[in-house]
Amino acid sequence: MAAALPQGGHIHFVGIGGVGLSAIARILIAQGFRVSGSDRSESVYTAALAQEGATIYIGHAAENINGADALIITSAVNVDHVEVAAARQVGIPVYKRSDIIASIMTGKQVIAVAGTHGKTTTTAMIAHILIKTGRDPSYIIGGTLTTTGQNSGVGTGSAFVIEADEYDNMFHGLRPNIAVVTNVEWDHPDFFPTEGDLFRSFSHFAGLINGVMVACADDAGALRLGETINDIENTYYGINSPAAQLKALEIRRGVSGYRFAVQEGQTPLGEVELAIPGRHNVLNALGVLRAVMIYGVPFEDAAQALESFAGTGRRFDLRGEVNDVTVIDDYAHHPTAIRATLEAARGRFPGHHVWAVWQPHTYSRTQALWDAYTTAFTDADHVVVTPIYAAREQAVEGVTAERLVSAMSHKDAVYAPSLDAAAELLLAQVESPAVIVIMSAGDAPKIGEQYLFKKAMG
C-alpha cells in the first residue's frame, strides 16, 4: 500500500541533489508541498530546486529535519544516517521512493518505462511526444529532458510518464497502466546477487501492471518476461524477432540518426527519422511508438514529434568540438550499453578515430560482469580506462581497473591512474578527426571538460 503524504505538508529529502529525488521534489513543490532537502554537495538540481522554493542544506545534520512531516531518502542512505536517526527518534515517518511514488500519481494514467538499459531515453521520448502533441504530461526522468531543460514536470494532461528504476525495487511502488520493458539483463549485483533475483524483481513489477505491457521481443529477457506474465495484455516490438507485432524495416542511416519504416503486423504505418544516433534507439523508438499509440496518439503525430527529439543529458550528449575532435558524454556503464554507445559513435562519425574513455562503476558490477567488459570495446579504436568509481561501495581485493585492462583483448587499451592522467593522455595522443566518448555514471565527465578547456586555450 502506497504511503500518503500529508497534503501541503513539509517533506524533507535526504539526498535531494540526485537525479531521482530531485525529480520527485520538483513534483511535490508543484503540488503544493513545502520541500527541504540535504546533500553532501551542490549540484545543478539543488540550485534549480532552491530557485523553485526548496530549502537546501549542503551537508547533513540532525537539525535539517526540523519541522518536517516526513522524510524521503535516497537508496544510498544508511539506516544510521544522522537525519534518518533524528527523524525516527521523534517519530517522523521515513520513506523510500517506492513507498510514496504511487501516491503522487493518483488520478493519472501512468506510463512507466523499465529495463536494464534505455530507460531514460525511452521515457524522455514518450514525454517529448506527449508535450509536442499538446497532451501536457507530468513526468519523472532519470536525466534532463532537452525539450524542457528539466528532469520532471507537472502537466495538466492525464498522463504521468515515469522512468521505472529497478534498483532498490523502486518500481515495485508503481501501478502502471502502460509499461514499456526495453530489456531485462543482469545488473546492480550489489542489490541483485544473481540474474534470477533481478528477473524475479521484474516479474513482480510486471504483475503490478494494470493494463498493457509493451516488451522488446529482440531482448531475450524481456521476451521471457512477457511469456511468463499471462494475466495482462502483452504486445511486442522489435527488428528481428518473429514475435514482434510492431517492427522496424528498411533501416538506414539518416542525417544524424536512422530512418526506418514501421509496420504493424502486415500493415505499413509510415516512416520515422531520428535525430539521435544508434541502432538501439530504433528499438527504443518502436517501444515508444507502441506506448503512445495505446495512449491515443496517432502514429503520424508521434512520428513527426520524434523527428525533433534531441535526447537527454548524459545520453550521447555532445559536450563540445575543437579542431575536428568531438567530445561525447554518455552514461554507459554496463557492457551492453557500452557496445551500443560505441556502435552509435562509429555510425554517427564515420571516418573518425573512436576513443572510448570508460570509468568502471562500482566494484561489485566490475567483478560480476568482468568477462563481458573485456570484449565490450570492439567498436573503439582506442580505449582508456580510469580507476573504478566506488559510489556506495568499499574496494574489493583483486578487482581493479588496471587488472581489467590487462585482461582485455583490445589492441590499444590502456589504464590511466587518475582522471587528470586520462585527460593528459588524450591531449597528447588524440589526432583529428576523432570522437572521444566519455562513458561514466560517476565523475569522469571532468575528463572531457578538461580536454576541451585546454584545447580551446591552445
Q: Which residues are catalytic?
A: 119-120, 163
Alpha-carbon distance of 29 to 12, in angstroms, equals 12
Beta bridge partners of 71: 12, 94
Residue 317: strand, helix, or coil: strand
Alpha-carbon distance of 16 to 36, in angstroms, equals 8
Give residue for cell 518476461: 225
Q: Are 131 and 186 in contact (CB under 8 A)?
A: no
Alpha-carbon distance of 129 to 169, in angstroms, equals 28
For 58-79, the DSSP string reads ES--GGGGTT-SEEEE-TT--T
Can you point out the beta strands (E) in 194-257?
A: 212-216, 233-238, 246-253
| Pick from 353, 202, 345: nearest CA to 281 | 345
Amino acid occupying residue 338: I
Q: Residue-wise over 69-92: b if at least 16 C-beta within 10 A, else e?
A: ebbbbbbebeeebbbbebbeeeeb
Give rounded-to-5 percent helix, strand, coil for the chain. Answer: 35, 25, 40
Cis amide bond preceding 433, omega within 30: yes
User: In whole angstroms, how large is the CA radius of gyration of the chain?
Assistant: 22
> Between vectors from CA 375 to CA 374 and to CA 379, what angle results, nearest 5°?
130
Amino acid occupying residue 202: F
Amino acid occupying residue 439: M
Alpha-carbon distance of 168 to 188, in angstroms, equals 9
